């Protein structure tokens, strides 16, 4: 297993196989991730998952049994019963996070699992750190430190195909992408003048974050028929004050959170001095949404879009 940092366009190479079969073990598998080419001598068999965003991809490809350990939070509201059963069989190393939802785990704990792939980069466990002990890492492209592109639902399809290459499940990836495209095509596409903002409040007091056009919140709001009041910011996420919110005064607020009580997430906004002047607060048009239903691009963002449309409907 080798990891080669290079600056190049996406390269997806893998052995061909029949539906349900893996690429031959002797084939070299190479994918581009965060500007780095990650090369495997065979499809990974011992995966440690540090972020939940990969779960719907791995479930769709039928490779959740390759995950030997996981860390972080995996709220049950994300998953159907089959996916939850798969997760329940995977040992949880830790679910400790800080107030911003960032995983707290030591390098030694992860390395002790002897993984041949780690999914998800965390603050104290970088790609370079793992490369030093010959363990490859794959991050969701939208969460790469050097990510500059505008996220879209097409990113979800490409990432499914990339995972299909890594795990030798190209046929399953093609089927999964077709199903996602069909769901998007069947979804109602309202046209509206309503505005919205996607926020990440700090429960218990603290900074409120907003999501700009560099986040998956942008195409999700557009698909739901809203104008993102922070679309003018190219940043993915940034701090925002109540004064800024009042100045833009969105009709709807989507409130992201990693876990916990949705009512407390709402109270983190409604409890701010002057928050009752916001149209969304005054009209009760607030919707707590688990983080991965919006960010990063994944099949869960399609679920999240369906939830937003169901909650607010299409205007007449």
pLDDT tens, residue order, the chain (316 aa): 444 333 333 333 333 333 344 444 447 899 999 999 999 999 999 999 999 999 999 999 999 999 999 999 899 999 999 999 999 999 999 998 876 667 889 999 999 999 999 999 988 888 999 999 999 999 999 888 877 778 999 999 999 999 999 999 999 999 999 999 999 998 866 666 799 999 999 988 889 999 999 999 999 999 999 999 999 999 999 999 999 999 999 999 999 998 889 999 999 999 999 999 999 999 999 999 999 999 999 999 999 999 999 998 754 4
User: Residue 246's domain is classified under what CATH number?
Assistant: 3.40.50.1980
Q: How far apart are CA 170 and CA 253, in angstroms?
A: 38
Q: How far apart are CA 176 and CA 76, in angstroms?
A: 22
- The answer to whether residues 304 and 234 belong to one domain is yes
- Domain contains 221: yes
* Residue 5: C-alpha distances to residues 12, 34, 161, 162, 164 (Å): 15, 10, 21, 18, 22
Of 224, 198, 212, residue with least CA distance to 291: 198
- The answer to whether residues 176 and 199 belong to one domain is no
Total structural domains within the chain? 2
**Predicted pLDDT of residue 186:** 86
- Domain contains 190: no
pTM: 0.84
**Predicted pLDDT of residue 228:** 96
CB atoms within 10 A of CB 185: 8
Of 28, 31, 224, residue with least CA distance to 139: 31
- Domain contains 113: yes
- The answer to whether residues 255 and 172 belong to one domain is no
Report, in this order, helix, strand and coil percent for the chain, each rounded to 5: 35, 20, 45
- The answer to whether residues 31 and 161 belong to one domain is yes
Last residue of a domain, one of 156, 183, 210: 183
Last residue of a domain, one of 183, 207, 229: 183
* Secondary element (H or E) of residue 40: strand 36-40
**Predicted pLDDT of residue 314:** 56
Pairing relation of β-strands 195-200 and 227-228?
parallel
- The answer to whether residues 61 and 109 belong to one domain is yes
- The answer to whether residues 170 and 237 belong to one domain is no
Residues of the domain holding 56: 2-183
- The answer to whether residues 221 and 151 belong to one domain is no
């Amino acid at each position: 297993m080798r990891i080669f940092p290079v600056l190049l366009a996406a390269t997806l190479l893998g052995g061909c196989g029949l539906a349900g079969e893996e690429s031959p073990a002797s084939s070299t598998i190479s994918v581009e991730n965060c500007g780095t080419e990650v090369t495997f001598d065979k499809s990974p068999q011992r995966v440690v998952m540090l972020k939940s965003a990969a779960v719907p991809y791995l479930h769709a490809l039928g490779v959740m049994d390759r995950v030997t350990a996981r860390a972080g939070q995996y709220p049950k509201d994300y998953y159907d019963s089959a996916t939850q059963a798969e997760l329940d069989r995977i040992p949880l190393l830790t679910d400790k996070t800080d107030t911003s939802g960032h995983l707290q785990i030591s390098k030694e704990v992860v390395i002790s699992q002897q993984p041949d792939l780690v999914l998800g980069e965390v603050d104290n466990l970088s790609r370079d750190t793992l490369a030093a002990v010959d363990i490859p890492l794959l991050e969701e492209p939208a969460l790469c430190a050097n990510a500059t592109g505008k996220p879209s639902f097409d990113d979800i399809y490409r990432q499914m195909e990339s995972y299909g290459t890594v795990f030798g499940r190209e046929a399953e990836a093609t089927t999964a992408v077709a199903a996602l495209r069909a769901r998007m095509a069947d979804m109602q596409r309202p046209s509206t003048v309503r505005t919205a903002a996607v926020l990440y409040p700090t429960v218990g007091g603290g900074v409120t974050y907003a999501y700009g056009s560099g986040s998956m919140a942008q195409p999700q709001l557009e698909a739901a028929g809203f104008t993102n009041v922070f679309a003018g910011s190219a940043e993915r996420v940034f701090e925002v004050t109540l004064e800024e919110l009042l100045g833009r005064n969105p009709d709807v607020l989507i409130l992201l959170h990693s876990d916990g009580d949705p009512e407390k997430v709402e109270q983190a906004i409604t409890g701010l001095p002057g928050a009752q002047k916001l149209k969304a607060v005054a009209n009760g048009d607030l919707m707590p949404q688990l983080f991965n239903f919006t960010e990063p691009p994944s099949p869960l963002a399609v679920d999240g879009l369906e939830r937003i449309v169901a909650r607010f409907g299409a205007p007449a």
